[in-house]
Structure 1
Amino acid sequence: MNDAAPRVLLLPGWLDSDAAHWQSRWEALHGFQRVQQADWHWPRRGDWMAHLEEVLLQEPDARPALLVAHSLGCQLVAAWAAHSQHTARVRGALLVAPPDTERADMPPQLHNWRPMRRQRLPFAATVLYSEDDPYASPACSRGLAADWGAAAHSLGAVGHLNGDSGLGDWPAGVAWLRALDEATR
């Protein structure tokens, strides 16, 4: 990305992204900004939404951001966009491995993320998902993408697309982000 690129905000999911996670690597390699939530263990949807809004409004003259969300961070983007009056601050979103928080086997810490927000996003979005994600079926991932008005792309059987997936610096993910950046200029 070049100097004219928007700022990139990283939105980790439940429990944050560990050092092996591609989001942590991107933060170190590319200088992207991680949105730090107050409570990674008991994530409250309203609190996370309010903090994302706060971060987006911190720099009134900032270029519109690209959001790069993983897991519960994807649900954060959908929930925030459904309620915010400041969605013009976002140019696009790369949504990686959105979880199905309505599943019966979801941990109780995530129950306040029900129901999932399914409104069309007011900005361009791409959903990347795995065929064997333990937190969402491919059908759910494709359904969320359709509801959000996002392009959906299967990356094959790569788990939850997290640190355990062995993606390293994930250059293919950077290519998806660059494509989204170029498509939204």
Structure 2
Amino acid sequence: MKASEADIFIIPGLDNSGPDHWQSRWEAKIRSARRIEQADWSNPQLESWVSTILRDVEAANRPAVLVAHSLGVVAAVKAAHAIKPGLVKGAFLVGLPNVESDEHVPELIRHFAPIPEHKLPFPSILVASRSDPYCAYDTAVHYGNKWGSTLVDAGETGHINDESGQGPWPEGLMTFANFMRDLS
């Protein structure tokens, strides 16, 4: 599948993705991409975030592909089984935060726990870093396996955002392009 044949939904995490974040760069570069805008990026509410994802994705005119980062990953996975079957063709999930761990994430997002452990109803990739301060690599591997995701080891890349030096993130864009090519 080509990106031009799908509605690409960018789903940022806490505080949104700034202009130098790879999600913002991809949104500007990929014509069929658009951001799911949450009502409050700095005080996230689980039900609101999930219902916004459902509303936007179900209004798609073409097959949908989710591109989620950080807390957006948890929200997207929680929304996955409520989305009309067959509408989402795949999900590119990056930088899962362990919302079940006080040592990894702020209390502000702990109410997004528990992280679902059921297989996703569409193909997915989970990109995880070995040095992510918000989630231990083994935890990401555990959830990726539960979701049926293909795991991509991003090495020592922090939270895979602009603060960790992954602004344009060309390796991620190549991985995403290969993922899109394999979707039908």
Alignment TM-score, normalising by the size of structure 1:
0.93
Q: Which residue of 2 aligns with 1:27?
A: 27
Aligned AA (2:41): W
Tell me the matched-pair count. 182
Q: Which residue of 2 aligns with 1:78?
A: 77
Q: Which residue of 2 aligns with 1:36?
A: 37
Alignment of 1:1-185 (within 5 A): 2=2, 4-31=4-31, 32-59=33-60, 62-82=61-81, 84-105=82-103, 106-185=105-184
Q: What CA distance in whole angstroms lies between the structure 2 residues aligned with 1:111 and 1:87?
A: 28
Q: CA deviation at 1:3?
A: 6.8
Contact 2:95/2:160 (<8 A) preserved: yes
Secondary structure of 2:159's counterpart equals coil
Q: CA deviation at 1:57?
A: 2.0
Q: What are the superposed Cα offsets for residues 111-147 of structure 1, whole Å, 9 maximum, x if unpaired?
A: 2101111111000000001110000001011011001
Q: What CA distance in whole angstroms lies between the structure 2 residues aligned with 1:179 and 1:2?
A: 10
Q: What are the superposed Cα offsets for residues 31-79 of structure 1, whole Å, 9 maximum, x if unpaired?
A: 32011100111111111110011101224xx221110000111101110
Secondary structure of 1:118's counterpart equals coil
Contact 1:78/1:119 (<8 A) preserved: no
Contact 1:78/1:118 (<8 A) preserved: no
Q: What CA distance in whole angstroms lies between the structure 2 residues aligned with 1:80 and 1:38?
A: 17
Alignment gaps of 5+ in structure 2: none
Q: What CA distance in whole angstroms lies between the structure 2 residues aligned with 1:86 and 1:58?
A: 11
Q: What CA distance in whole angstroms lies between the structure 1 residues aligned with 2:89 and 2:114?
A: 25
Q: CA deviation at 1:5?
A: 2.4
Aligned AA (1:71): S
Q: What CA distance in whole angstroms lies between the structure 1 residues aligned with 2:160 and 2:181?
A: 23
Q: CA deviation at 1:85?
A: 4.5
Alignment TM-score, normalising by the size of structure 2:
0.93
| Distance verdict in 2 for CA 1:44–1:155, change over 3 Å | same
Q: What CA distance in whole angstroms lies between the structure 2 residues aligned with 1:76 and 1:87?
A: 17
Q: What CA distance in whole angstroms lies between the structure 2 residues aligned with 1:93 and 1:3?
A: 13
Contact 2:7/2:63 (<8 A) preserved: yes
Q: What CA distance in whole angstroms lies between the structure 2 residues aligned with 1:162 and 1:36?
A: 19
Q: RMSD of aligned C-alpha atoms?
A: 1.5
Contact 2:12/2:72 (<8 A) preserved: yes
| Distance verdict in 2 for CA 1:20–1:119, change over 3 Å | same
Give the share of equivalent positions with the same residue, in percent.
Answer: 32
